[in-house]
Amino acid sequence: MAKILIINTGGTISMVSSGRGYVPNGELFRERLLSMDLLKQAPMPQWVLTQTEPLLDSSNMTVSDWNRIGQLIADNYEAFDGFVILHGTDTMAYTASALSFMLEGLDKPVILTGSQIPLSQLRSDGRDNLIDSLLIAAEGRVREVCIFFGGKLLRGNRATKYSADELIAFVSPNYPPLAEAGITVSYNKTLLRGRQEVPFRLQLLDEIPIGVIKVFPGIQFSLFEQILTEKLKGIVIETFGAGNIPQGGSELLPLVRKALANGTVITVCSQCPQGTVTLGAYETSSALKDAGAVSGRDLTTEAAVAKLYYLFSKGYAADDVKRLMETDLCGEESA
C-alpha cells in the first residue's frame, strides 16, 4: 500500500472562525482528520500527518516557509511514495511554482491542495480535494508538483488563482489539466512529465531582492526609479497583451537601461492569463527588447517570480539567468 505524507501548512482548510476572521487551528484539524473514517478505508493509502509550526494564512508565506516545506519533502523523500501539501489558496500557485524548481529531479507526486470552505464546515470542498489528492498521490502516475482543486489536477507552475469565492478556484490557461476527476480520475497521459533522469536534490532558496511592476494607462515610471537600484536582482514587468508598454515609456527606457547596467534581470510577462509575450511584435514592445529585457513568454507571474528566486539562488550570473528565463526547465513555459 502506498504511503503518503500529508504536510499541513495552514490555509482555509484548517481554519476556524475567530473574532478577527478565519485563523488556522492545527489541533482541531488533526482531530477532525483522525476522526474521518473515510480516510481510513480502502482504497485510501496509508498516510501520516505532519503540521508546520505555526500554521499560516498563505498570505504570510515567505521564502523560508518554502524552504521548510522543501526540506520536509527532502527529509522524507525515501520513506514516502508521495506528498500532499495542504496550503492556503491565496499563494498556493507561488508555492507550487517555487517547489517545482526547488525539487530538482523530482520523481514522485507532490500535490498541493486546500479549500475555499474550512474542513470543519458542512459544505467544505476540502473533503473532496483532500481525498482525490491522496488517491492521485497514491496512484503514483504523477512525477511533478501539481495543484489539485475543484476536480482538476493542474501543473503547479502553470496554475494561477482565478476565483476568490468559487470552488473551482484555479486555472491553468496555458497548459491543459493533467487530469480531471469525474466518476473516475482520467489522466491526460501525454501531458504528464516522464521519469526523471537526474537524482533528486533540494535547492534551497535565498531571499533574493526582486520586484513586480504592473503597467497601467497613465503609469508614471519615474516613481519606480527609487526601487530600480543595483540591489534589485530581478524584476517582472506585467505588460499589456503580447508584451506592450505605454509609449510614453520613453520615461521607462532609461530606467530599464539603468537596471540592466546594474545587472537586474527584467522579465516581461503579460497581464493576459492566456497566450504568450512576443517582444518586438508591436512597436510598443520593441523598445523593451532593444533595452535588453527578456521575454517571460507564457510564464505565469507566479512562475516568473519563483524562477528568478531559483536561478539567482543557484548562483547564476545575470546573463545566464536571462538565458534560462527563456528556457523551459520543468514544464513552466512552452518550448
How many positions of this chain bind ligand ASP (CB under 6 A)?
A: 11
* CB of 57 or CB of 206, closer to ligand ASP: 57
d(Cα 169, Cα 179) in Å, to the nearest integer? 16
Window contacting ligand ASP (CB under 6 A); options: 7-15, 132-140, 150-158, 315-323: 7-15
Counting contacts by CB under 6 A, is residue 14 touching ligand ASP?
no
Residue nearest to ligand ASP (CB): 88
Beta strands in 102-228 (DSSP E): 103-104, 110-113, 145-149, 152-155, 160-161, 170-171, 179-181, 185-187, 201-202, 210-214
Q: Which is nearer to ligand ASP, 19 or 182 (CB)?
A: 19
Closest to ligand ASP by CB, 67 vs 89, is 89
Q: Which of 57, 104, 107, 128 binds ligand ASP (CB under 6 A)?
A: 57
Rounded alpha-carbon distances, angstroms, from residue 29 to 16, 32, 45, 250, 310: 9, 5, 19, 54, 32
Binding residues for ligand ASP restricted to 96-135, rule: CB under 6 A:
114, 116
> Cα(181)–Cα(11) distance, rounded to whole angstroms?
23
**Residue 90 binds ligand ASP, judged by CB under 6 A:** yes
Backbone dihedral angles phi then psi of residue 279, each to the nearest 5 degrees: -65, 130
Closer to ligand ASP by CB, 94 or 309: give it. Answer: 94
Selected catalytic residue, list 9, 12, 113, 301: 12
177 counts as binding ligand ASP under rule CB under 6 A: no
Among 20, 41, 53, 59, the residue binding ligand ASP under the rule CB under 6 A is: 59
| Alpha-carbon gap, residue 278 to 142, rounded angstroms | 31
Q: Is 12 a catalytic residue?
A: yes
DSSP H or E stretch at residue 48: strand 46-56
Cis upstream peptide for 54 (omega within 30°): yes
CB of 63 to ligand ASP, least distance (A): 17
Q: Which residues are catalytic?
A: 12
Binding residues (CB under 6 A) for ligand ASP: these are: 10-12, 57-59, 88-90, 114, 116
